[in-house]
Amino acid sequence: MLSSAQTPRLLRSPAALTFKCLHTSPILTPASTSPSPSQILTNRKALLSRQTSAVDLAKSFLQRLRRHEPQISSFLYVSPDDIVLKQAEELDNRIKNNEEVGPLAGVLVGVKDNICTRDMPSTAGSRILENYRPPFDATAVRKLREMGAIIIGKTNLDEFGMGSTTEGSAYQVTANPWDLSRVPGGSSGGSAAAVSARQCTVALGSDTGGSVRQPASFCGVVGLKPTYGRVSRYGLVAYASSLDVIGCFGSSVADAGLLLNSISGFDNFDATSSKQEVPDYASQFVPLDYLESKPLKGLRVGVIHETLGNGVDSEVVSSVRSAISHLEELGCTVSEVSLPSFSLGLPAYYILASSESSSNLSRYDGVRYGNQVFGEELKSLYGDSRAEGLGSEVKMRILMGTYALSAGYYDAYYKRAQQVRTIIRNSFKDALDKNDILISPAAPSVAYKIGEKKNDPLAMYSGDIMTVNVNLAGLPALVLPCGYDGGSAGMPVGIQMIGAAFDEEKLLKIGHIFEQTLEGYSFIPPLVADE
């Protein structure tokens, strides 16, 4: 069994079902509040019972956003106050008239800037799309608006989703709200930081190789990567089309799940979107009082052996092992699973992603949209527009991807990477036939310092080892905070739970119960905690 060396603690009565974690942050006091099950539902209740108004709620978020934005820089664009407040006022009027309101009514949402919004710029973090205003909303954005959400702004990212720190943005570097000298992770670092700093309730990100899950771990928030095809990619600026998904950030599992509920479903505009029925994810968030003493009894959890060895920070291993003990206390049967092909996923991912991106980014030629550097001939218009508009990391990946796809090299690189994808897909399927979920850390370390990996591509790429295989297999995964690194910075550690295709329900159920029974944490960064 994989219990930690410590004796598992006996549970108290079901009504007070909690698990005292073995590591406490030196920053938060042990008496801090239990995690809120859902900020979305708490605010909704307050709105519908007229305890607060949508206008007051929006004002408080806008004030907090502007207060912390000079330090964090999570937003590339903030919606003007009058537009946000007008939407809030319209909602207040509907509530006053007892009209029906959508499930996300009044919820302030951040949207990663590679997801198209009709009335706001969408730059994908790149100068080549500076000031670009798409002529349409992404399907996910359209659905959010239909559900009553208010989009508070567009969040920062590594350019075109290529990066793991958000330092690759052409505009600004986002800081981690837990420690402003550290990265928030990437590429959806802006969204993760915004939710962590409570600048918005929830946020959309995108995940091609871990870009929702790794920043969620680094920023101490919940990140949910759905099954490939669960959420329409229409309006998501394409990076690697066989791997890209839109994902959800929240300060709780329930909030991430409620967001997923709103954006999932088949879309005619995305041929890879799934026709599988969308279950009601909200039904998984059972209040603690209704749970038995071992609410996860019978659930089989497989810990991926290759993810807890050398090269993973000891504090990350320790937090994850503690989380495993917690799952055992909740009734799970935990065993070890070996996936020998695990390490092949990383080079295979970077071959596939670079290759597909070289094709997807060929449309940025300065002709039909974006910034243009006019030339004497067409070739120099293309060459100079792309040279000026695209950043270094993006250029490198396009060059590498073109190489991997070239005649004479295609079989050696791209085709072999696709074969590795088959192996990895099959190995995950076999493991998930024998287990309900698989477990690993979300990243081999906590958030590192800004600038630490900027000039070393392989060092940055290697941090994705925990996440890329899930994209190759197209599976859903949930990351939630499970502890701290125990150092003086007290940086959060995230655990990754991987499910079978379209089994987000199970992930959300397990994640919610895990989170709600984890005593002693509120995972609010000090920057915000004192407010």
Partner 1 sequence: MSCRAVMLLRANPQLFSFRNSAFPKALQPNKRFYAAKYSLEPPDVTGLAEKTRISLTPKQVEEFAPKIRQVVDWFGLLQAVDLQSIEPALRADTEGDNLRDDVPRVFDNRDAIIAAVPNYEDSYIKVPKVLNKE
Task: Name which of 174 and 385 has its Cβ closer to partner 1.
Answer: 385
Q: Report phi then psi at 302, rounded to 5.
A: -110, 120
Of the residues 211, 264, 318, 354, only one is catalytic, namely 211
Selected range binding partner 1 among 186-194, 294-302, 449-457, 518-526, rule: CB under 8 A? 449-457
**Contact 505/286 with Cβ under 8 angstroms?**
no
Per the CB < 8 A criterion, the answer to whether 207 and 216 are in contact is no
Among the listed residues 73, 122, 187, 191, the single catalytic one is 187
Distance CA(31)–CA(198), nearest Å, equals 21
* 395 contributes a contact to partner 1 by CB under 8 A: yes
Q: How many residues does the chain have?
A: 531
What is the distance between the alpha carbons of residues 345 and 465, in angstroms, rounded to a whole number? 8
Scanning 149-157, 201-209, 256-264, 407-415 for contacts with partner 1 by CB under 8 A, the matching segment is 407-415
DSSP secondary structure letters along 162-221: --SSSTT-SS-PPPBTTBTTB---SSSHHHHHHHHTTSSSEEEEEESSSTTHHHHHHHTS
State which of positions 83-142 bind partner 1 (CB under 8 A). Answer: 118, 132-136
Q: Which of 500, 441, 438 is nearest to 465 (CA)?
A: 441
Candidates 75, 228, 239, 521: give the one binding partner 1 (CB under 8 A).
228
Nearest CB to partner 1, comparing residues 71 and 380: 380
CB nearer to partner 1: pick between 60 and 403: 403
Q: Name which position in 116, 398, 497, 498 contacts partner 1 (CB under 8 A).
A: 398
Binding residue for partner 1, selected from 46, 375, 522, 528, defined by CB under 8 A? 375
Site stretch for partner 1 (CB under 8 A), options 81-89, 167-175, 225-233, 513-521: 225-233
Exposure of 199 in the CB half-sphere (CA atoms within 13 A): 31
Stretch that binds partner 1, among 21-29, 50-58, 338-346, 488-496 (CB under 8 A): 338-346
> In DSSP terms, which residues pair with 499 in a beta bridge?
none
Q: Are the CB atoms for 114 and 141 separated by under 8 Å? A: no
Rounded to whole angstroms, how far apart are CA atoms 74 and 154? Answer: 9
Residue listed under structure tokens 């070239």: 406
| 341 near partner 1, judged by CB under 8 A | yes
What are the C-alpha distances in Å from 408 to residues 357, 403, 420? Answer: 19, 10, 19
Q: Give yes or no for residue 371 binding partner 1 (CB under 8 A).
A: yes
Quote the least distance from Cβ 523 to partner 1, whole Å: 24
Q: How far is the CB of 22 from partner 1 (least distance, A)?
A: 22
Closest CA to 263 of 234, 232, 238, 225: 232
Question: Interface residues for partner 1 in 411-430 (CB under 8 A)?
Answer: 411-413, 415-423, 425
Is position 377 an interface residue for partner 1 (rule: CB under 8 A)? yes
Alpha helices in 276-360 (DSSP H): 314-329, 345-360
Among 61, 350, 484, 523, binds partner 1 (CB under 8 A): 350
Q: Is 494 helix (H, G, I), strand (E, B) or coil?
A: strand
Is the separation of the CB atoms in 474 and 227 below 8 Å?
yes
Binds partner 1 (CB under 8 A): choice among 374, 407, 488, 530: 374
Give 298 or 309: the residue with its C-beta nearer to partner 1.
309
Binding to partner 1, residues 497-526 (CB under 8 A): 501-502
Residue 234 near residue 118 (C-beta atoms within 8 A)? no
Measured from the CB atom, is 107 or 470 closer to partner 1? 470
Q: Give the contact letters, 258-277, x = binds to partner 1 (CB under 8 A), - = no.
A: --------x-x--xxxxxx-
Is 234 an interacting residue with respect to partner 1 (CB under 8 A)? no
Cβ closest to partner 1, residue 40 vs residue 212: 212
- 144: Cβ contacts below 8 Å, ≥ 6 apart: 104, 109, 111, 151, 204, 262, 263
| Segment interacting with partner 1 (CB under 8 A) among 98-106, 237-245, 248-256, 295-303 | 237-245
The least CB distance from residue 387 to partner 1, in Å, is 4
The interface mask with partner 1, positions 453-492, x = CB under 8 A, is x--xxxx-xxx-x------xxxx-----------------
Rule CB under 8 A: say whether 368 interacts with partner 1.
yes
Query: Total number of residues binding partner 1 (CB under 8 A)?
Result: 102
Active site residue 112: yes
DSSP 417-484: HHHHHHHHHHHHHHHHHH-SEEEEESSSSS--BTTTTTT-HHHHHHTTTTTHHHHHHT--EEEEEEEE
Of 310, 407, 433, 530, which lies in the binding site for partner 1, with binding defined by CB under 8 A?
310
DSSP H/E element including 486:
none
Distance between CA atoms of 164 and 216, rounded to whole angstroms? 12
Choice from 148, 205, 229, 525 touching partner 1 (CB under 8 A): 229
Nearer to partner 1, 474 or 486 (CB): 474
Q: How many CB atoms lie within 10 A of CB 393?
A: 18
Q: Does 365 engage in binding with partner 1 (CB under 8 A)?
A: yes
Establish if 182 lies at the interface with partner 1 (CB under 8 A).
no
Which one, 150 or 501, has the nearer CB to partner 1? 501
Q: What is the rounded distance in angstroms from the CA atom of residue 293 to the CA atom of residue 479?
A: 24
User: What residues numbered 21-80 form the site for partner 1, per CB under 8 A?
Assistant: none
Q: Would you name the residues annotated as active-site residues?
A: 112, 187, 211
